[in-house]
Amino acid sequence: MIVGSGPGGAILAEQLLEKGRRVLILEKGLYVHPDDFSEDEVDMISRLYSDGALQISQSLRFTILQGSAVGGTSVVNNAVCFDTPQRVIDTWNARSSSGKVIDDTAYFDSQQKVRARMRIKKIAEGTRKPLDAVLNHGDSLITSAVKSYFAGREDAYEYDVVEANIVDCLGCGYCNIGCKYGRKLSMLDEVLPAAQHKHGADNMRIISEANVTQLTESSGKITEVHAVVAGGRKLLVRNPKTVVVSGGTIHSSWLLMQSGIGKANKLPIGKGLCFNMGSPLHALFDRKVTAYDGLQIAHYLKVHDHPGFVYETWYNPPVAQALTMPGWLDTHFRNMQNYDRIAAVGVLVGTESNAHIVPALFTGGPDVVFQPTQGDLNKLVDALVILGNIFFTGGALEVYATTRRYQPYVNQSAVLRAQSQVDALRDLVKHDYDILLGTGHPQGGNAIGTSPANSVIGPDFKVFGYSNLYVCDASVFPTSTTVNPQLTVMTLAHYAAQFVQ
Ligand SMILES: Cc1cc2nc3c(=O)[nH]c(=O)nc-3n(C[C@H](O)[C@H](O)[C@H](O)COP(=O)(O)OP(=O)(O)OC[C@H]3O[C@@H](n4cnc5c(N)ncnc54)[C@H](O)[C@@H]3O)c2cc1C
């Protein structure tokens, strides 16, 4: 039995089926057929996202986006894939004083298999439309800005079209509300139906709108799984042979916490969460950019001297863009009127593992307690400063960060009008309440490791002290990847299949 149908749950299910197991997946989100996806952002967001995309940290300063649907967050993600950096696996292994946490050779072998399975390629390859027509239309401006900024320093950076599990992209720009055209090979479009087709519906059952609320244990074994299904009816699974929790970061930890798992041996469940913390920088140009037209995330940029962050060119349909557009009231209105003359790039900083989960006061659900460290904020500001310089080199008229305080917008000091002003960002952003921060990449909370003192699951993905309980999703990351995490989630799930009994 698997709880959750995102990349962690779905890839593991497929592998277990290949080994002759029968699989039942309970998924709390809706089953929405891709034919029913529409361009109505508000409707799709409310149906496909956890808490209708209003999930926010306890401080109210950090938005945490997650999907909730059959297929998990893969239904709404951008499908961008980065290989797991070797340094990440090294860091995870270095947490152990008694042997490796992850066998690198087997892990990277799984990664190759997942890359082939998910047809992960550069967007350019296999795309029938001309590449320029497919990519985010802000891209050509940003590409020439990056080239000019790094002219003569070609060894200092890596800039390229993203790799993704997208085949023959049409560049509609609606990745984040479900790909209606079947080009994104999400778990909903590809893995779950293919597994069911190959192994038969009797061997692979998925129940949507089934919220697993409690795991009951006896002598270190899960003996009952309780769920509430559509209409409020209760579902009880008795004596499951195996239970894998793949509800994603936050919700997997929350289910374990609610069930009292690991209390006796004080497992650090719901601790050590980390994020790829993001904040965008917007640039206004003197001509139409139409960045909304085309693939939302098209290029990435890594600056070799700064391994703590990554840039991704990025733009959104109007509702999502309005949520991150800088400015308040009339300034926000003015910026939205310039929607077609603005390009944006997102900065992703891999944070330290310093967040944790507590019960929320009023909702009865989980609350995430997180404040970025000063070091993480400094990395973000460094990244924004470099990016501001890149934009001005590329001919931007104005550049703005999504700073939160209203006052700077009254006297317009948050609007940078020349390259010489970019360093002002360092004064504008000193605290987490100074700038809009968020993530679509929450990680951790059920760390993998060799000791129950600092980990929740062992190298075999089994929860310490339990004989039939496993966790397999982004919550098992001990540290953040900095790069987009879904290929790491999928690879871990493929790798985990050898251990799940
Ligand atoms: C807008 C957006 C864009 C993104 N773009 C990218 C990208 O381009 N590249 C990339 O690498 N990553 C991206 N990500 C992140 C990536 O999608 C996630 O890291 C990945 O999906 C995590 O996989 P998972 O299996 O851990 O969890 P999820 O995909 O979140 O799946 C967990 C599933 O479990 C279900 N569930 C939770 N609790 C329960 C319960 N109690 N009972 C039953 N079901 C439950 C949830 O409803 C959900 O469907 C993006 C995320 C967002 C929000």
Residue 480 pLDDT > 90, yes or no?
yes
| Among 11, 56, 73, residue to substitute to test ligand 1 (most atoms within 8 Å of Cβ) | 73
Instruction: For residue 49, give the ligand 1 atom closest to its CA.
Output: 53
List all residues whose CB is within 6 A of at least one atom of ligand 1.
3-9, 26-29, 65-69, 72-74, 76-80, 176, 211-212, 246-248, 251, 255, 297, 440-441, 473-474, 484-486, 489
d(CA 73, CA 491): 16
Instruction: For residue 65, give the ligand 1 atom closest to its CA.
Output: 53
d(CA 296, CA 293): 8
Ligand 1 atom 52 nearest Cα: 440
Residue 408 pLDDT > 70, yes or no?
no
| Among 88, 161, 315, 441, residue to substitute to test ligand 1 (most atoms within 8 Å of Cβ) | 441
d(CA 184, CA 475): 24
Residue 67 Cα, ligand 1 centroid: separation in angstroms?
Answer: 5
Q: Taking residues 162-188, report their average pLDDT.
A: 96
Ligand 1 atom 21 nearest Cα: 73
> For residue 422, what is the DSSP state?
G
Residue 414 pLDDT > 70, yes or no?
no
CB-based contact 440:278 (threshold 8 Å): yes
d(CA 367, CA 370): 10
Residue 175 Cα, ligand 1 centroid: separation in angstroms?
Answer: 14
pTM assigned to the model? 0.97
Tens digits of residue pLDDT in 192-227: 999 999 999 999 999 999 999 999 999 999 999 999
Residue 409 pLDDT > 60, yes or no?
no
3-class DSSP assignment, residue 223: strand
In this structure, what are the phi and psi dihedrals at residue 126, rounded to the nearest 5 degrees? 80, 10
CA-closest candidate to residue 86, choices 446, 351, 461, 481: 481
d(CA 57, CA 65): 11
Residue 74 Cα, ligand 1 centroid: separation in angstroms?
Answer: 6
Better pLDDT: 410 or 107: 107
Q: Which pLDDT does position 407 carry in this prediction?
A: 44
Q: What pLDDT band is residue 275 in, cutting at 50, 70 and 90?
A: very high
Please report, as a single letter, which amino acid is at residue 465. Answer: G
CB-based contact 380:401 (threshold 8 Å): no
Q: Which pLDDT does position 216 carry in this prediction?
A: 98
Q: Which pLDDT does position 50 carry in this prediction?
A: 85
Q: Which pLDDT does position 406 carry in this prediction?
A: 47
Residue 65 Cα, ligand 1 centroid: separation in angstroms?
Answer: 9
Count Cα neighbours of 474 within 13 Å in the Cβ-side half-sphere. 28
Q: What is the DSSP string of 101-112?
A: SS-HHHHHHHHH
Please report, as a single letter, which amino acid is at residue 469. Answer: L
Q: Which pLDDT does position 361 carry in this prediction?
A: 87
Please enumerate in sequence order all residues whose Cβ is within 8 A of that of 334, keeping only pairs 6 or more positions apart, or say none: 327
Ligand 1 atom 20 nearest Cα: 486
CB-based contact 18:209 (threshold 8 Å): no
